[in-house]
Amino acid sequence: MSDPSSYLFPPVAPLQSGTLAVDELHTIYWEEVGNPQGIPVLFLHGGPGAGISPQHRRFFDPRHYRVILFDQRGAGKSQPLGETRNNTTQLLIEDIERLRALFGIEQWLVFGGSWGSTLALAYGQAHPERCLGFVLRGIFLCTALEIDWFMDGAQWFHPEIHEEFAQGVPYEERGDLLQAYYKRIMDPDPEVYWPAVRAWSRFEGRRVFLMPQPEEPACDTIDLGLGRLEAHYMANLGFFEDDQLLRDVDRIAHLPAVIVQGRYDVICPPFSAWRLHKRWPGSKVVMVPDAGHAAMETGISRELVAATEQFRRQGRFG
């Protein structure tokens, strides 16, 4: 199997980076990468709470794109880390608009995977006039069915991973793992919440790639951001009405979109990508036959770069 990084552009440093206070509690970290005169792109990371990484800059030709990346509230280098107060999808959309105004961008291509696809759809439906199009990966519509799958569907493919996760709470609470973990993750006592966020992060991380990968060393920033914010957003159904993102696709249906989906994605199964595609006649869906959920799987990286390159050349997707 080829190296997924072989399909990416070379590593690139930000043109500039900084922080933006978005309210009295939250300050978000941002980066600008590429050509200041290039096609503007908004990059939305997953999780929620996972944060951005240098690899995320590499999906875009820096000679032709102007990429804005940021750590969403409570994630990565944004402060306070793992903070769930004043943290809703609607407030994240407001943050995106603040960033757009900060950089003087009228319209941009919106790129997001997993939870990033959720936020991309929500932002686009709130501000369709600001979007040039969408590149979306690993679709998550944040429905109760998908959340139930994330928590308990794991046992159908990874029973040993699910069993280990369930054993982190008392037997009598295992009928509702989301609420059991949410209670512990939000506990103010570090001796309670640290084991919970670490278990949550490991539960997800071990299922991301199709083929088993060496486990990454524990990272407190990722564990706390991911554990806290994923539990927070899932417990609140993403702050959406039932199936809202699919219901409101008409608001962006006139815009071009490419959907890249791993055939064997057990975090965000292909059914959601297919549902979105069927409601969005102008969208193109690419099912990668030998991939799971991770953006850094070879086939997914290849198709994401192919999408940004096609948009660069044509301003649309074929």
- Three-class HEC string of the chain: CCCHHHHCCCCCCCCEEEEEECCCCCEEEEEEEECCCCEEEEEECCCCCCCCCHHHHHHCCCCCEEEEEECCCCCCCCECCCCCCCCCHHHHHHHHHHHHHHCCCCCEEEEEECHHHHHHHHHHHHCHHHEEEEEEECCCCCCHHHHHHHHHHHHHHCHHHHHHHHCCCCHHHHHHHHHHHHHHHCCCCHHHHHHHHHHHHHHHHCCCCCCCCCCCCCCHHHHHHHHHHHHHHHHCHHHCCCCHHHHCHHHCCCCCEEEEEECCCCCCCHHHHHHHHHHCCCEEEEEECCCCCCCCCHHHHHHHHHHHHHHHHHCCCC
With 90 as the cut, is the pLDDT of residue 314 above it? no
Query: What confidence tier does 66 reach under pLDDT thresholds 50, 70, 90?
Result: very high
Residues 226-235: what's their mean pLDDT?
98
Mean pLDDT to the nearest integer, 27-47: 98
What is the tens place of the pLDDT at every residue in 237-293? 999 999 999 999 999 999 999 999 999 999 999 999 999 999 998 899 999 999 999
Residue 116 has pLDDT above 90, yes or no: yes
Average pLDDT on 220-239 reads: 97
CB 253: neighbour CB atoms within 10 A? 14
What's the first-to-final CA gap in the chain, in angstroms? 27
Q: Is the pLDDT of residue 1 over 60?
A: no
Mean pLDDT value across residues 295-303: 97
- Examine the pLDDT at 218 and tell me if it is beyond 90: no
In this predicted structure, the answer to whether residue 147 has a pLDDT above a threshold of 80 is yes
Q: What is the mean pLDDT of the segment spanning 59-84?
A: 98
Tens digits of residue pLDDT in 180-208: 999 999 999 999 999 999 999 999 999 99
The Cα 242–Cα 59 span in angstroms is 32
- CA–CA gap between residue 220 and residue 297 (Å, rounded): 24
Q: What is the mean pLDDT of the chain?
A: 96
Catalytic residue among 45, 56, 162, 293: 293
Give the separation between CA 47 and CA 223, rounded to whole angstroms: 11
Q: How far is CA 76 from CA 23, 123, 238, 242, in A?
A: 17, 21, 20, 29
d(CA 11, CA 5): 10
Is 293 catalytic? The answer is yes
pLDDT at residue 142 is higher than 80: yes
- The pLDDT of 96-109, averaged and rounded, is 98
Q: State mean pLDDT over 33-60.
A: 97
Average pLDDT over residues 157-163: 97
CA dihedral 96, 310, 261, 144 (to 10 degrees): 30
Statement: residue 2 has pLDDT above 70? no
Say how far apart CA 65 and CA 77 lie, in whole Å.
23
Instruction: For 100, list phi and psi in degrees, rounded to 5.
Output: -60, -45
Q: What is the pLDDT of residue 213?
A: 84
What are the domain boundaries of the chain? 4-141+241-314, 144-238
* Catalytic-labelled residue, pool 114, 117, 283, 301: 114
pLDDT classification of 48: cutoffs 50, 70, 90: very high
Q: Given the residues 71, 95, 223, 265, select the one marked as catalytic.
A: 265
What's the pLDDT at 80?
Answer: 98
Q: How confident is the model at residue 158 (pLDDT cuts 50, 70, 90)?
A: very high
- For residues 107 and 286, is the Cβ–Cβ distance under 8 A? no
Q: Does CATH number 3.40.50.1820 belong to domain 4-141+241-314?
A: yes
Say if residue 317's pLDDT is above 90: no
pLDDT above 90: residue 215: no
**CB contact at 8 A, 170 and 151:** no
Task: Render pLDDT for 87-98 as a digit per residue (tens, 0 to 9).
Answer: 999 999 999 999
Q: Is the pLDDT of residue 312 over 70?
A: yes
Give the pLDDT of residue 196.
Answer: 98
Q: How far apart are CA 31 and CA 52, in angstroms?
A: 10
